[in-house]
């Protein structure tokens, strides 16, 4: 593992700094929006705008890279991100924030595509799983660390906007000064929704619904916490609890995924996520209960992303997996765009608690659909399933495809050794 870290440390450091900047601005949007008097609906539109840009960037960035190269794309998009982060307090209007969030989402998605293609090229078949694991840990650690930095300035001022801009600007130095250009690359054409539904209805529908859950967590959690009357320190702790749960519970869910019927596990994760959201709804007056609910809710949402990918792979041929990964990411993005809009409507109707209600309903829908699918066809035996792919929702299709490559290699090695394919912890 140390050898893997030594080869990609600059990339991991740079991405961690980018995620700190991204995590700070995502939380700050909710807090500063409340100070500026933005309505819940306006904030939900601003949040959805990020995912519109992110989805567009994941589709268009590969073409930009093919035309002008990784370094130019990386540097150009980084400049736009840094400028966009500083522009938020200068243009404190809902329409301006919406446009800026589209820009930031687009550029961050392109940065992820570029960085992840570098990472994939730097890894070998033997180290790809470990390299991706380190990359995902760096991403989640950056999001958690970002919440601590929220206490370094006044949310009504400029410091908390300037700081992430500085961090994002600094992040490109270690990456651009250490990595080498990658060979020409391409991503598989995403599988259509109809094809995904025919192969794995639970995987496709689950991804669509989960997109709404994650978008609500990532973009609307700070809006909820602000409207619930929490201070900046409590808001950042609440958001940090969500991402901490995501990081801590990733491995246990992955371990179980390789040892039991994945549909049963999807059902269990959906039920636990719904119960966590109900707990947050009922116990909203207790800050300690809110932190516990946030930890469990986040800890169920992020691993479920990887679990649904692994479950879908169980019904695919090896040659279809790259295309399926792109299709799943696209479906997930559609859900992420819609999620904040619906959350905002509920919060307008019934108050801040609409945040919890929305997430509880979505988790419950995933669990209910898993039960229904279990009545439609038999499951894949545990010893015939593939390994769990521990990727996070912030990853681009490049990282998901790289994880698929690791999965195929792991399955080939397991087959040569005469053992089951699903024996390892994923990237």
Please answer whether residues 283 and 273 qualify as being in contact, where contact means their C-beta atoms are separated by less than 8 angstroms. no
Greater pLDDT, 329 or 178? 329
Residue 360 to residue 213: CA distance in whole angstroms: 9
The DSSP string of 226-282 is HHTT--HHHHHHHHHHHHHHHHHSHHHHHHHHTTS-HHHHHHHHHHHHHHHHHHHHH
Greater pLDDT, 26 or 426? 26
Per-residue pLDDT tens digits for 102-146: 999 999 888 888 877 777 776 666 666 677 778 888 888 999 999
- The token duo for 292 is 């516990």
pLDDT of residue 135: 81
Nearest Cα neighbor of 134 from 3, 252, 296 is 3
Residues 266-271 have a mean pLDDT of 95
- The token duo for 259 is 């040892």
Q: How many CA atoms lie within 13 A of 406 on its CB side?
A: 30
pLDDT of residue 288: 93
Residues 6+ apart with CB under 8 A from 287: 230, 234
Per-residue pLDDT tens digits for 18-66: 899 889 988 998 899 989 999 999 999 999 999 999 888 888 887 887 7
pLDDT band at residue 384, thresholds of 50, 70 and 90? low
Residues 176-191 have a mean pLDDT of 62
Residues 6+ apart with CB under 8 A from 58: 109, 112, 113, 329, 330, 333, 396, 397
Burial of 26 from C-beta contacts in 10 A (0-12 / 13-18 / 19+): buried
What is the phi-psi region of residue 422: left when phi exceeds 0, alpha when psi lies from -120 to 50, beta otherwise? beta
Mean pLDDT of the chain: 83
Per-residue pLDDT tens digits for 289-303: 999 999 999 999 988
Nearest Cα neighbor of 136 from 289, 309, 256, 290 is 309
In CATH, the architecture of 8-417 is Up-down Bundle (1.20)
Q: What are the sequence ranges of the domains in the chain? A: 8-417
Lowest average pLDDT, out of 21-25, 211-215, 292-296, 407-411, goes to: 407-411
Lowest average pLDDT, out of 177-181, 272-276, 372-376, 388-392, goes to: 177-181
Is the per-residue pLDDT at 416 higher than 70?
A: no
Greater pLDDT, 74 or 160? 160
pLDDT band at residue 3, thresholds of 50, 70 and 90? low
Query: What are the phi and psi torsion angles at 185 (to 5°)?
Result: -130, 165
Residues 235-263 have a mean pLDDT of 89
pTM: 0.86
């Amino acid at each position: 593992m140390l050898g893997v870290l030594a080869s990609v440390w600059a990339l991991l450091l740079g991405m961690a700094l980018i995620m700190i900047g991204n995590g700070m601005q995502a939380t700050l949007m909710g807090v500063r929006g409340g100070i500026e008097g933005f309505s819940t609906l306006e904030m939900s539109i601003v949040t959805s705008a990020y995912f519109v840009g992110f989805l567009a960037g994941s589709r268009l960035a590969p073409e930009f890279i093919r035309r002008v190269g990784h370094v130019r794309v990386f540097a150009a998009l980084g400049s736009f991100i840094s400028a966009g982060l500083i522009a938020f307090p200068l243009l404190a209007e809902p329409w301006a924030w919406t446009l800026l969030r589209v820009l930031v989402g687009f550029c961050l998605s392109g940065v992820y595509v570029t960085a992840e293609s570098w990472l994939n090229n730097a890894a070998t078949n033997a180290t790809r799983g470990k390299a991706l694991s380190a990359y995902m840990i760096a991403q989640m650690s950056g999001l958690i660390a970002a919440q601590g930095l929220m206490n370094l300035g006044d949310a009504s001022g400029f410091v908390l906007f300037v700081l992430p801009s500085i961090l994002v600007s600094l992040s490109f130095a270690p990456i651009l000064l250490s990595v080498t250009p990658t060979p020409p690359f391409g991503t598989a054409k995403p599988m259509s929704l109809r094809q995904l539904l025919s192969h794995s209805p639970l995987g496709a529908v689950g991804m669509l619904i989960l997109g709404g859950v994650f978008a609500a967590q990532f973009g609307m959690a700070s809006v909820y916490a602000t409207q619930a009357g929490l201070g900046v320190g409590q808001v950042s702790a609440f958001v940090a609890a969500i991402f901490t749960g995501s990081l801590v519970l990733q491995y246990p869910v992955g371990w179980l995924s390789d040892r039991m019927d994945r549909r049963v596990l999807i059902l269990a994760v959906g039920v636990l996520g719904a119960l966590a959201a109900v707990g947050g709804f009922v116990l909203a007056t207790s800050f300690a209960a809110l932190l516990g609910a946030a930890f469990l809710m986040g800890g169920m949402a992020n691993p479920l992303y990887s679990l649904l990918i692994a479950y879908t792979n169980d019904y695919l041929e090896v040659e279809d997996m790259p295309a399926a990964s792109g299709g799943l990411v696209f479906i997930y993005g559609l859900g992420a765009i819609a999620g904040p809009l619906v959350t905002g409507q509920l919060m307008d109707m019934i108050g801040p608690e609409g945040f919890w209600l929305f997430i509880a309903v979505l988790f419950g829908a995933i669990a209910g659909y898993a039960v229904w699918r279990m009545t439609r066809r038999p499951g894949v035996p545990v010893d015939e399933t593939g390994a769990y792919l521990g990727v996070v929702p912030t990853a681009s299709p490049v990282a998901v495809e790289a994880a698929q490559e690791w999965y195929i290699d792991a399955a080939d090695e397991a087959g040569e050794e005469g053992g089951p394919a699903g024996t390892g912890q994923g990237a």
